[in-house]
């Protein structure tokens, strides 16, 4: 049972790593190609309150999508609700990951956010230490490395 739980935890952690890293990179790619470089520069230099506002915007924009997804689920439209929730999760992670990467220094000046960040980081490190030796995690890391290399090659060509 312990091995099964560690394997499930490994899968969850690797998916979280993939989503965060990949979607943060996609956010940067989109910002560069859509002409948001000045906005990114502003975010890097923003005050803590501006950074808090900036990271709140995508959260507030995604919330109605989440509510709609739950409404769909509650009304028996399971496939549509799950699909919409996946879209919301991907969009939310895309923007929040990218904005957090740019504003982390400013955001961590808030005691509550620093505490949340440190607590979540602690639990992620704890979980990572438990699953790093599982076969599922090693297999997923190999796939992740391969996908990253393939993406880097593809991005250089384009």
Lowest-confidence range among 12-16, 110-114, 133-137, 151-155?
A: 12-16
> Is residue 30's pLDDT more than 70?
yes
Instruction: Please enumerate, as own/partner, the contacts of 81-89 that have beta carbons within 8 Å and a separation of 24 or more.
Output: 88/62
The whole-angstrom separation of Cα 55 and Cα 53 is 6
Ranges of beta strands (E only) in the chain are: none
Structure tokens that stand for 151 in this block: 């993406």
Mean of pLDDT values over 47-67: 92
φ/ψ (deg, to 5) at 60: -70, -35
Average pLDDT for the chain:
84
The whole-angstrom separation of Cα 90 and Cα 36 is 20
Structure tokens that stand for 112 in this block: 């509550």
CB atoms within 10 A of CB 57: 12
Q: Which residue has the higher pLDDT, 84 or 32?
A: 84
Predicted confidence (pLDDT) per residue in 76-114, tens digit: 999 999 999 988 888 887 888 788 888 999 999 999 999
Predicted confidence (pLDDT) per residue in 12-25, tens digit: 777 777 777 777 77
pLDDT at 123: 86
Structure tokens that stand for 42 in this block: 């502003």
Q: Which residue has the higher pLDDT, 116 or 97?
A: 116
CB within 8 Å of 8: residues ≥ 6 apart: none
């Amino acid at each position: 049972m312990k091995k099964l739980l560690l394997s499930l935890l490994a899968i969850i952690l690797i998916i979280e790593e993939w989503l965060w890293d990949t979607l943060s990179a996609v956010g940067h790619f989109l910002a560069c190609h859509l002409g948001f470089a000045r906005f990114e520069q502003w975010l890097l230099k923003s005050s803590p309150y501006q950074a808090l506002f900036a990271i709140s915007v995508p959260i507030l924009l995604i919330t109605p999508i989440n509510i709609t997804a739950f409404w769909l689920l509650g009304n028996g439209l399971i496939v549509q609700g799950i699909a919409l929730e996946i879209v919301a999760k991907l969009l939310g992670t895309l923007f929040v990951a990218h904005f957090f990467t740019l504003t982390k220094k400013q955001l961590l000046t808030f005691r509550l956010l620093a505490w949340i960040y440190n607590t979540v980081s602690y639990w992620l490190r704890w979980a990572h230490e438990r699953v790093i030796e599982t076969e599922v995690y090693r297999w997923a890391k190999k796939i992740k490395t391969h996908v990253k290399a393939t993406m880097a090659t593809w991005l250089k060509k384009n």
